[in-house]
Amino acid sequence: MLSLVIQAGGRSARMGQDKALMPFLGQPLIQRVADRLRPIADEILVTTNRPEAYAFLGLRLTPDLWPGRGALGGLYTAIASARGEYVAVVACDMPFASPTLIENAASLMLREEADVVIPKTDEGYEPFHAVYRRAACLPAILSAIEAGEWKVIAWFPSVKVRVLTPDEVATADPSGLAFWNVNTPEEFAKAERLAQQFDL
């Protein structure tokens, strides 16, 4: 069973408002992300400390289990709250999140018995467009939090990590936009233009 968790806990400081709720081509951005990925998921949930703002989605909403522990605490919340053995975690501000890429990652996880299947770009790992095996990752993340770690990948040495190669990523995501998260009004507007222009 594949659970999909959409992280909606960011502050949206550079946007000036909650970007997950901003209309993207006429619908809230988070609705677009959920609709793109719905076909591949057995369940979808949203991590948020403002459930009233996201009630319109009709999805299960779960608050932060480790408030104040940043992205690592958010990742723990996502994986702990999911019901599936395999958990895809995606950020709410990725308008071009790739269902094909997540599906391919989940297949690799099964085939190669990995605990994490994650893309890596020139900017580093993409932990919020990755797939996690719940049973192995949850205790590893908890140990990292209890040890005072903050880095979202601090626990990777204790699990089996399968990094997607650039070729594997490009095959599933030919547009190269899957990991693009919109942080400013300018980026948001550009993403809308690209979505319309290329029907993405």
Under DSSP, is residue 184 helix (H, G, I), strand (E, B) or coil?
coil
Those residues whose C-beta lies under 8 Å from the C-beta of residue 146, and which sit 6 or more positions away, are none
Residue 197: what pLDDT? Answer: 92
| 97 Cβ contact partners less than 8 Å away, ≥ 6 residues apart | 33, 36, 37, 90, 91, 129, 178
Q: Which amino acid is at 70?
A: G
Domain ranges of the chain: 2-125+140-177
In this prediction, residue 47 carries a pLDDT of 96
Distance CA(155)–CA(92), nearest Å, equals 23
Name the residue with tokens 């990991």.
Answer: 179
Question: Tens digit of pLDDT per residue, the chain (200 long)?
Answer: 999 999 997 665 566 578 999 999 999 999 999 999 999 999 999 999 999 999 999 999 999 999 999 999 999 999 999 999 999 999 999 999 999 999 999 999 999 999 999 999 888 999 999 999 999 999 999 999 999 999 999 999 999 999 999 999 999 999 999 999 999 999 999 999 999 998 88
Ramachandran region of residue 82, left (φ > 0), alpha (ψ -120 to 50) or beta? beta
pTM of the model: 0.96
Q: What is the CATH number of domain 2-125+140-177?
A: 3.90.550.10
CA separation (Å) from 186 to 19, 87, 163, 189, 195? 12, 32, 31, 5, 14
